[in-house]
Amino acid sequence: MVQSLTVLADGLDFPTSLAFDDAGRVYLAESGLPFGGADPGGRIWRLGPGTDTSSRTLIADGLAAPVTGLLWHQDHLYASEGGAGRITRIGPDGQRTVIVDGMPGPGNYHIDMAVAGPDGKLYFAQGAMSNLGIIGLDAYELGWLGRLPHSYDVPGLDIELTGVNVTTDDPLAGRPGARTTTGAFVPFGTATRPGQRIPAGLPCSAAVLRCDLDGGNLELVAWGMRNAFGLGFLPDGRLLAVDQGADDRGSRPIGNAPDLLFEVREGAWYGWPDFIGGIPVTDPAFKPTRGPQPTFLLANHDELPPPERPVLDFESHVAATKFAVAPPRSRLAGQLVVTLFGDEAPMTLPPGGPRLGRDLLLVDPADWSPRGLPSGPELHRPIDVGFAPGDDALLILDFGEFEMTDHGVESRRGTGRLWRWAGWDQQS
């Protein structure tokens, strides 16, 4: 199995996204995150020409980090620039046009990958600003609260608050010992009251949205997915989303919340911030170690659609990211190959447990049954997969060496790779 893996591109700085043009040429995007001394600013590369992947051509640089998605559609590339809350269309001549702009954030999560729908629309997700609805000190530790204290979650449906507030240290006050109180769906340092109503906004966070290919007619598809990092359509036209679960951190921590695979239905509510896969956050199974059991933030559940159930629960903290559908000529035609980026202990869960994720999963949409698809020990952090047109081989994009520690991120630039796995179909 290991011998069937070959390197198509290496020396990459924390890449996140793959795309293929109609001729089968491969495009990949580097995130632009300056970990390990990497140069800041996202970049898009085209491998080739032709089948020669030993060389690559720079298509775009200076994109707002992190670049979270890349799409080829109708002779254009669409790059999701999380650091600016926008989607940029890049033409054959390199000309850039911002078609989606002004999205919430950047916060804990960002605007995510875009996909082209069978209706001719562009579908994309916007992640949550917070872990679970309240901006806490984890946002400061992640580096964005001090720069953007105005960022907070915007609901996609009209909500009424229970008035839950959390008092924490205030690192923005500029004086030792300062404290502040923060509620849900408001800026850091703002308290809320029971019965407070907050109207739906557009754009909103924790949502799947769509628009025309030129960015017009933005509309909500579904609300309540915390961070639908991976989107994709099945051959029958159903839209799937990989939603990344909340963590044991911040002002509203939660334990054992899994990543979820959802079928996206228009007008549905997917439960965030009060339900995990249809189960209330008050369930003892979600008791955290870093704080009290969460209570409800929303007082009007009866006014909202019933929270949707997932088609699949992933193991907690494997960090499912993106997926690809096996091509029709494959023995596993129609099945999903899902990348599992892996845990980020000790930031997102207590340290000392086993390493989670960092491999691939095969999911059969006939019954949503999962099974492991180990791809060999070379993978550090798989983040995207794909099949080039006319090629049965699976391409695997590896983010590179990246680990969280008590002292911050430990990473090494130039360790990202693009792999071609020719024998994956027979090995499973």
Number of domains the chain contains: 1
pLDDT at 50: 56
Residue carrying structure tokens 């970990």: 35
CATH code assigned at 76: 2.120.10.30
Provide the domain limits for residue 303.
2-427
Instruction: List 77's β-bridge partners, or say none.
Output: 72, 90
Torsion angle in degrees (nearest 10) through CA of 89, 73, 333, 325: 10
Residue 208 CA, distance from chain mean position:
12
pLDDT value of position 346: 75
Q: What per-residue confidence (pLDDT) applies to 1?
A: 40
Block means of pLDDT (10 residues each) for the chain, length 428 residues?
A: 76 97 94 93 88 80 97 98 96 96 86 97 96 86 52 95 96 90 95 98 97 98 98 97 93 95 98 98 96 97 98 93 95 95 76 80 97 78 94 94 81 95 79
Q: What is the pLDDT of residue 338?
A: 97
Q: What is the pLDDT of residue 377?
A: 56
Instruction: Tell me what pLDDT residue 144 has.
Output: 46
Q: Give the per-residue pLDDT at 350.
A: 66
Task: Please calculate the CA angle 23-2-312 and round it to the nearest 5 degrees.
Answer: 75
